């Protein structure tokens, strides 16, 4: 029996979600850049994970790629301090890139550093040519904060021109059903009808839907992952 990533056992191996998860499982470290000017251009679509410090960005990337330690996740806020890129696709055939960005808003960071980082983020989101989509992660117990709003404002013109946006309400395992529904409605209002989903790394909630969306964003608007061809009769 070949080793299969854990999520394959929960999904039919030929379903579009399973194909998308298999694709995400190919993720490997590409490069790290302490500042924007060190970020190499990539000739493939890029999806950025942004959000407040401690929102669960790195954990989300690890969950989607079914790799325990691809992105650094930590109880200490501010763990991710550089832009880390991960390549997707078969070895030598990279077809997309995931970007794990440092979180913003961590209280203990000096104000000057916070402002500097906000500018870096804004620059990245406005100028990064390969950027195809943004996944904004938000801890629903805190809701979308002022910094999240600023960031949504920054990318609005690009979203109007086709940049994809998904807001993931993370750590959904900490909410009961009523709280989850309330958090969803509030976030949908705040993002003006944008796509919002509940996500839990712990309960693997929202994992398949998110995997499929990322696949679709990077492989063509309404595409479905290619299913294995039927065996010849
Ligand atoms: N209960 C629960 N905890 C989670 C979940 N996702 C992340 N966490 C926890 O939240 C904390 C922060 O997670 P990270 O993934 O490091 O968050 P981050 O957004 O990458 O943080 P920075 O890199 O500091 O910006 C860790 O202690 C995780 O274990 C989840 O779905 N459920
Ligand atoms: Mg992180």
Residue ranges per structural domain of the chain: 6-219
Is residue 78 within 8 A of residue 27, CB to CB? The reply is no
Going by pLDDT thresholds of 50, 70 and 90, the confidence category of residue 229 is very low
Residue 232 has pLDDT above 70, yes or no: no
Mean pLDDT value across residues 91-101: 93
Ligand 1 center to 112 CA (angstroms): 25
pTM above 0.85, yes or no: yes
What is the full DSSP assignment across 34-97?
SSGGGPPP-SS-EEEEEEBTTSSHHHHHHHHHT-TTSS---SSTT---SEEEEEESSTT---EE
Nearest to 58 by CA among 197, 67, 198, 115: 67
Which mutation among 74, 102, 108, 118 tests ligand 1's pocket best, with the greatest number of atoms within 8 A of CB? 74
Q: What six digits make up the tokens of 138?
A: 């938000």
Ligand 2 center to 102 CA (angstroms): 6
- Number of other residues whose CB lies within 10 A of the CB of residue 4: 13
Ligand 2 center to 155 CA (angstroms): 21
Q: Point out the ligand 1 atom lying closest to the alpha carbon of residue 78.
A: 24
Going by pLDDT thresholds of 50, 70 and 90, the confidence category of residue 223 is low
Residue 4 has pLDDT above 50, yes or no: no
Q: What six digits make up the tokens of 170?
A: 């993370």
Nearest CA to ligand 1 atom 23: 80
What is the distance, to the nearest Å, from the Cα of residue 80 to the centroid of all Cα atoms in its chain? Answer: 14
174 lines ligand 1 (CB under 6 A): yes
**CA separation for the pair 146, 15 (Å, rounded):** 39
Nearest to 74 by CA among 60, 92, 88, 54: 54
- pLDDT tens, 57-70? 999 999 999 998 89
Residue 201 neighbours by CB under 8 Å, 6+ apart: 56, 59, 60, 62, 63, 170, 171
Q: In the CATH scheme, what architecture does the domain 6-219 have?
A: 3-Layer(aba) Sandwich (3.40)
Helix 16-24 vs helix 57-65: crossing angle, to nearest 10? 110
- pLDDT tens, 133-177? 999 999 999 889 888 998 999 999 999 999 999 999 999 999 999
């Amino acid at each position: 029996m070949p080793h299969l990533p854990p999520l394959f056992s929960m999904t039919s191996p030929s379903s579009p979600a399973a194909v998308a998860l298999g694709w995400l499982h190919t993720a490997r470290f590409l490069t790290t850049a302490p500042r924007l000017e060190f970020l190499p251009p990539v000739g493939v679509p890029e999806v950025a994970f942004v959000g407040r410090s401690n929102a669960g960005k790195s954990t989300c990337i690890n969950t989607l790629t079914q790799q325990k330690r691809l992105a650094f996740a930590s109880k200490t806020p501010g763990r991710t301090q550089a832009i880390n890129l991960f390549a997707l696709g078969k070895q030598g055939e990279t077809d997309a890139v995931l970007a794990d960005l440092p979180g913003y808003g961590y209280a203990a960071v000096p104000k000057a550093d916070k402002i500097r980082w906000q500018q870096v983020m804004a620059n990245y989101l406005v100028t990064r040519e390969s950027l195809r989509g943004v996944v904004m992660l938000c801890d629903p117990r805190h809701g979308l904060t002022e910094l999240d709003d600023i960031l949504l404002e920054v990318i609005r013109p690009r979203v109007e021109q086709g940049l994809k946006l998904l807001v993931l309400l993370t750590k959904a395992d900490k909410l009961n059903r009523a709280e989850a529904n309330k958090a969803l409605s509030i976030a949908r209002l705040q993002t003006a009808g944008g796509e919002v989903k509940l996500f839990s790394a712990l309960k693997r909630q929202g994992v398949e839907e998110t995997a499929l969306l990322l696949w679709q964003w990077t492989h063509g608007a309404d595409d479905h992952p290619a299913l294995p061809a039927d065996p010849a009769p």
